[in-house]
Amino acid sequence: MALRAPGFGVGTMAINGLSRRGLLSAGVVVGAIPLAPAGAETFHRPPDIPWRPDAAASPTVPKRGDDFLYFTAVEQAFVQAAVERMIPNDALGPGGVEAGVPIFIDRQLAGAFGAASDWYMQGPWAKGETTQGWQSRMTPAQLYRAAIAAIDDAVQRTSSTTFAMLPAADQIAFLKRLEAGTASLSGGIDPAGFFKVLLQNVMEGYFADPLYGGNRDMAGWKLIGFPGARYDQRAYVTTYGKAYPLPPVGILGRPGWRGTEG
């Protein structure tokens, strides 16, 4: 989106979250789509220096609301149940479901993370050593789909129902078997590998800035006392032992601020 005429210096920028660097890094540029004419925004020589007025690479806010974009109804039921067991709603405060963690994960899987668009996903594929890290050919979105189906399949074999319909104690026991890697899943799904991804995404959904759809009402931050996206903490560096006095705030503000959802 051109903000000024191309020339030396920078004439374009990302204002819709689709940055040119993302395209370059994804390799789209090579012999395919010219991102910019040679010698345009990427060529910096005085007097055209590339500081850009009136421009900011602000974060991409995912779709608001409670309608799922990626998860099917069956998958939603699994994720809601698993998240409730992993971060339960209790006397300490809202759990992961109330904090919007399932919607957070859904939005992540519907976006660049779900597609593994930043990861190296070329073959050949091998299992490798644990010290060599993630070697699955599946993207996170594919992994969730396959793993949830395999989990419900495993529950069906032993209990003739789905994970979401199990009693809470049985759900917890099953999650522990996933975590320990002792659950037997069809389709070659590594139970502990999937659980690690799920746990990480649950933590992200509970503690990330609310703009990404989770951590609603800053429930995760309030639980622990994290004050959020604050910019200046100079007054609180040497207040040894004293409680921090300010409420948490997100990048988009907080409820009651400018009518944001928080």
Partner 1 sequence: MTTTLPRTDVVIVGFGWTGAIMAQELTDAGLNVLAIERGAWRDAATDFAPTFAQDELRYYWRHELFQRLAHDTITVRNTRGQTALPMRRLGSFLLGSGVGGAGVHWNGQVWRFLPSDLQARSHNAGRYGAAALPSDMTIQDYPVTYDELEPYYDKFEYLCGVSGKAGNLKGALQPGGDPFEGWRSREYPNPPLDMPYAPTLFAKAAGELGKHPFPHPAANMSRAYTNPLGVTLGPCTYCGFCEKYGCGNSSKASAQTTILPVLMKKPNFTLMTETEVLKVNLAGDGKTVTGVTYLDPSGQEVEQPADMVLLCSYITNNVRLMLLSGIGKPYDPVSGEGQIGRNYAYQITSSVNVFYDKEILNPFVGAGALGMIINDYNGDNFDHGGLGFIGGGYVGVLQTGARPIETHLAPQGSPAWGADWKAAIARNYLRSTTVSTHGAVMSHRGNYLDLDPTYRDVLGRPLLRMTFDYTDNEHRMSDHLTDRATEIARAMGGREIKVNRRVGSWDVVPYQTTHNTGGAIMGSSPSNSAVNRYLQSWDTPNLFVIGANAFPQNAGFNPTGTLAALAYHAADAIKREYLKAPGQPMVRT
Residue from the set 80, 110, 223, 261 that interacts with partner 1 by CB under 8 A: 223
User: Rule CB under 8 A: is residue 43 a binding residue for partner 1?
Assistant: yes
Peptide bond into 210 cis (omega under 30): no
Residue from the set 3, 119, 181, 246 that interacts with partner 1 by CB under 8 A: 119
User: Rule CB under 8 A: is residue 239 a binding residue for partner 1?
Assistant: yes
Strand partners, 2: 12
Piece of the chain touching partner 1 by CB under 8 A; list 148-156, 158-166, 181-189, 215-223: 215-223
As measured in angstroms, the least distance from the Cβ of 160 to partner 1 is 26
- Beta-carbon-side half-sphere exposure of residue 57 (alpha carbons within 13 Å): 10
Residue from the set 72, 135, 161, 184 that interacts with partner 1 by CB under 8 A: 135
Piece of the chain touching partner 1 by CB under 8 A; list 46-54, 69-77, 146-154, 186-194: 46-54
User: Rule CB under 8 A: is residue 160 a binding residue for partner 1?
Assistant: no
The pair of three-digit structure tokens given for residue 57, joined into one six-digit string: 């690479």
- Beta-carbon-side half-sphere exposure of residue 201 (alpha carbons within 13 Å): 27
Piece of the chain touching partner 1 by CB under 8 A; list 14-22, 68-76, 154-162, 182-190: 14-22
User: Rule CB under 8 A: is residue 245 a binding residue for partner 1?
Assistant: no
Residues 6+ apart with CB under 8 A from 57: 13, 14, 19
Q: Which helix (H) or strand (E) holds 207?
A: helix 191-207
Main-chain dihedrals φ then ψ at residue 253, nearest 5 degrees: 100, -150
User: Rule CB under 8 A: is residue 192 a binding residue for partner 1?
Assistant: no
Strand partners, 249: 228
Judged by CB, which is closer to partner 1: 24, or 74?
Answer: 24
Judged by CB, which is closer to partner 1: 73, or 240?
Answer: 240
Piece of the chain touching partner 1 by CB under 8 A; list 64-72, 87-95, 159-167, 254-262: 87-95
Residue from the set 1, 2, 67, 133 that interacts with partner 1 by CB under 8 A: 133
Gap between the Cα atoms of 103 and 161, Å rounded = 24
Gap between the Cα atoms of 44 and 39, Å rounded = 8
